[in-house]
Amino acid sequence: MAKMFINGQSVSAQSGKVLDVLSPVDGKKFDEIPRGEKADIDLAVTAANNALVSAWGKLTALERGRLLVKLGEKVLANHEELALLEARDTGKPMTTARTDITVLARYFEFYGSGSDKIHGMVLPFLNGYTVNVLREPLGVTAHIIPWNYPAQMLGRSIAPALAMGNAVVVKPAEDACLTPIRIAELARDVGFPEGAINIVTGLGEEAGAALSEHPGINFISFTGSNEVGVLVQRAAAKNVIKCVLELGGKSPHVVFGDCDLDRAVPIITRGIIANTGQTCTAGSRLIVERSIYPQIMEKLAKQFSQVKVGTPDMDLDCGPVVNLAQRERVEFFLKEAQKSNIDVVAQGVISPGLPKEGYYVTPTLLGNVPINHRCNQEEIFGPVLAAMSFETEAEAIALANGTDYGLMAAVWTENGGRQQRVSKSIKAGQVYINSFGAGGGVELPFGGVKKSGHGREKGFLALEEVSATKTVINYHG
């Protein structure tokens, strides 16, 4: 049975309760995790607070950075083991799981080498004064992460926090805890002091809620659904602490008639089928200039009909989705499309002979989807692309901005002026021009506007989010 990780120890829940871990491949139980609750969160927050005033808190920025870099190396040294664990827990094809582990290592390398390169300032002020602006950690940082990219999300969330000298408490999603637990063990093996990294497994409404409401934390980073994001922000407000929310998206590709279609089409396909569509930045809407609509749909239909779904070790384009609720969610949206007589332009293929209790869904290309249809407004979190067409640039921008979300977008055109106008008019945290990198780029500041959330992760900006300045004004005459 897997254990959680508190104060440098692998432990069970105080209550002794456990949760079953089911395989997305066949719905069968293959492990158990502790069902942590408030008592376990209390222990983890206490351990983190103690770490700040003991071995972990005493390290220099250089020493913290070296530990993070070592952890990145350790992840790479255990690459295949971690990729297998990630694939088993989430159902990802092995190639995707391997990429995720490489990116996880990259987070530790990037922030490890950044920890001693972010610093304060000395400000000019009145005669007789010296003003130092120090940059300090926030204290104990809480990280509630989702199941879609457990390894990557763990790295994205905790690496900057640790680089700045915070101590972290993580609540992974109950469907994807195994890799986060293993990473905490590897961190111990490379020398992270006790209490610096704590992982409490359990249910969102128990362990997750207890963590977000805990008076002993100083910051929360949350990635997941809108509904829970609102609860987390409310809990943060009660304790008057900062929260960073990453709540998903409905990211559009805006495709103009002059674009390089041969480049665009495979990238657009990949942007929605990668990770079986369970990506916050999935390019789930396609907004195409009417003159080329038939042409691009024909090319995309060809691609979609070749998309194959299978188990992680078959290593096809898509694996199963993570759990039964997610399978039912994707099926629900496909039924909604059918009810509204929306064109099913093409569908991928679920390999024959897969266990029928597994969580397999059919990749689907929908055509002429009205902008106000649910399939165009809500995050399906599955391999479903909704296409529509436009006449004018203004109409394209209105469609791109026509949802509550604003996480990512892509603009496809060879016209330089249009590249600038459209990318500036789209409300999103990241806009690609003639490219699309769902989840890509550890170096690139990332986050949402509108209901996609607030705050920034990745890049150097993440180090600012998990630290605060202190201005020391010294009169010396």
Least CB distance from residue 23 to Mg ion, whole Å? Answer: 8
Least CB distance from residue 89 to Mg ion, whole Å? Answer: 4
Instruction: Tell me whether residue 392 is exposed, middle or buried, using C-beta atoms within 10 angstroms of its C-beta: 0 to 12, 13 to 18, 19 or more.
Output: exposed
Contact map string, positions 245 to 284, toward ligand NAP, x by CB under 6 A:
-xxx-------------------------------x----
Q: In angstroms, rounded to a whole number, what is the distance separating the alpha carbons of residues 437 and 153? A: 16
Tell me if residue 37 is catalytic.
no
Least CB distance from residue 214 to ligand NAP, whole Å? Answer: 11
Q: In angstroms, rounded to a whole number, what is the distance separating the alpha carbons of residues 431 and 429? A: 7
Least CB distance from residue 19 to ligand NAP, whole Å? Answer: 9
Residue with smaller CB distance to ligand NAP, 51 or 247: 247
With left for phi above 0 and alpha for psi between -120 and 50, is residue 310 left, alpha or beta?
beta
Tell me if residue 280 is catalytic.
yes
Of 317-346, binders to ligand NAP (CB under 6 A) are 326, 329
Please report whether residue 36 would count as binding ligand NAP according to CB under 6 A.
Answer: no
Residue 89 interface partner, choices Mg ion, ligand NAP, none, CB cut-off 5-8 Å depending on type: Mg ion
Residue 71 interface partner, choices ligand NAP, Mg ion, none, CB cut-off 5-8 Å depending on type: none
* Residue 35 exposure: Cα atoms within 13 Å on the Cβ side: 10
Contact 230, 386 (CB under 8 A): no
- Closest Cα partner for 1 from 30, 28, 26? 30
Per CB under 6 A, the list member of 8, 114, 204, 363 interacting with ligand NAP is 204
- The two structure tokens encoding residue 406: 């604003």
Instruction: Tell me whether residue 281 is exposed, middle or buried, using C-beta atoms within 10 angstroms of its C-beta: 0 to 12, 13 to 18, 19 or more.
Output: buried
- The two structure tokens encoding residue 67: 């530990």
Active-site hit among 174, 246, 289, 465: 246
Beta-sheet pairing, 4-6 with 364-367: unpaired
DSSP 192: P
Least CB distance from residue 179 to ligand NAP, whole Å? Answer: 13
Contact map string, positions 361 to 400, toward ligand NAP, x by CB under 6 A:
------------------x-x-------------------
- Amino acid type, 294: P
Please report whether residue 224 would count as binding ligand NAP according to CB under 6 A.
Answer: yes
The residues annotated with a catalytic role in the active site are: 246, 280
Contacts to ligand NAP by CB under 6 A: 144-148, 171, 173-175, 203-205, 208-209, 212, 223-225, 228, 231-232, 246-248, 280, 326, 329, 379, 381
